[in-house]
Amino acid sequence: MTGTVESETELIVLPKKGARRGPEAQQPRRSGLLKFGHWWWALPGIILVVLIHYVATAVGGFFAFTDWSGIGDFAFIGFDNFVKIFQDPTKIAALGNTLFLAFASVVLSNIAGLAIALGLNRGLKTRYVLRVLFFMPVVLSPLAVSYIWKFIFDFNGPLNAMLGAVGLEELAKPWVADPAWAIWTVLIVIVWQNTGFAMVIYIAGLAAVPVEIEEAAAIDGTNLWQRFWHVTLPAIRPAVAIATTLGIVNGLRVFDQIMALTAGGPAGATETLATQVYKQSFSLGNFGYGAALALLLTLIILAFALVQQRVTNGRPEES
């Protein structure tokens, strides 16, 4: 704000750091005590976050290198837990499922969300009502939503009834109990619930794109696709970054939907890292092993969040 030189009489180049902070920054740094509020007001928040996020995560990370069972003694066993994970085909499959669900759900729900956002963006008279309807699944609990879909995919459920009604009885199957299809049912539930969320982020992003630019592009003879690809999409880049990053982070820890739909079955076909962490740590009492799985999940999430931020926010923003 104050950093930009306003008039030619004021050709002072301010140091960047001071420029960002405004007038307060010019005061001597030593007296940097707050003018308003007290610094110790931040203490309860900092302590709680450090304890519940950082200390707990660090302790969990430590147990990942032990064989602790939750009670009694434990031994430090180095990377044995991780070796065990990568030698166990079921854990590799769980890792694969986790990545598949995260990526496929992000791609599908973002395409669907963006398409709906573009469609509702301008002109429609009932766009506000439609927006409320498309967003509705987002506010519901994933567990409750999954039960509705479990019924839809049930052998005696609506999906097979509809297939029967159009003469495709031979396609009917117990979808959730079918090893080949179970993971797709989980994917559909996640996409159904996340589409509205992506849509809302994109509607907000699109609202910031000036109509004039699109009009100018249209006058220059661009077609709809060119306008979307070269004008609209670059303008909503920040929205894409947010929607995909949050989608990946949430997709990687998918748990509720699987517990409700398949509980990891049939025959482990829908296990993910999160369900395995839960089962190993809390059902089987392998705290050390469960912690190793959780550490793996944590590292994957942090890595993806970082990469995602770099890729989608690649170019420095111009102001």
Partner 1 sequence: MFRYTKFTALREVVFWVIAVAFLAPFYFLVATSFKSDQETLTTTALTPPSSIDFGNFIAVLTATGNSNVIMGLINSILITTGSILLLVLFGALTGYVIARSTRRWSRGVYFLFLVAIILPTQLGTVPLYIGARTVGLTGSIWGMIILYTGMLLPLSIFLYAGFFRGLGTDYEEAATIDGASRTQIFFRIVLPLMSPATGTVAILCGLIVWNDFFTSLIFLGGSANQTLPVAMYYYIGSLVSAWNKIFAIVIVSMIPILGFYLFAQKRFIQGFAGGLKG
User: Residue 87 has which token pair?
Assistant: 């030698």
214-253 residues near partner 1, rule: CB under 8 A: 215, 218, 238-239, 242, 246, 249, 252-253
Smallest separation, CB 12 to partner 1 (Å) = 21
Amino acid at 218: A
| Interface with partner 1 (CB under 8 A), residue from 2, 3, 5, 46 | 46
Interface pick for partner 1 out of 14, 60, 74, 313 (rule CB under 8 A): 60
Q: Residue 269 Cβ, how far from partner 1 at the closest point, in Å?
A: 20
Under the binding rule (CB under 8 A), the answer on residue 50 touching partner 1 is yes
Q: Does the footprint of partner 1 cover residue 260 (CB under 8 A)?
A: yes
311 near partner 1, judged by CB under 8 A = no
**Near partner 1 in 67-106, by CB under 8 A:** 70
- Residue in 4, 10, 41, 318 binding partner 1, rule: CB under 8 A: 41
Residues 123-162 that bind partner 1 (CB under 8 A): 123-126, 130-136, 138-145, 147-149, 151-152, 154, 156-158, 161-162
Question: Which residue number, 107 or 143, has a Cβ lying nearer to partner 1?
Answer: 143
| Cα–Cα distance measured from residue 42 to residue 53, given in angstroms and rounded to the nearest whole number | 16
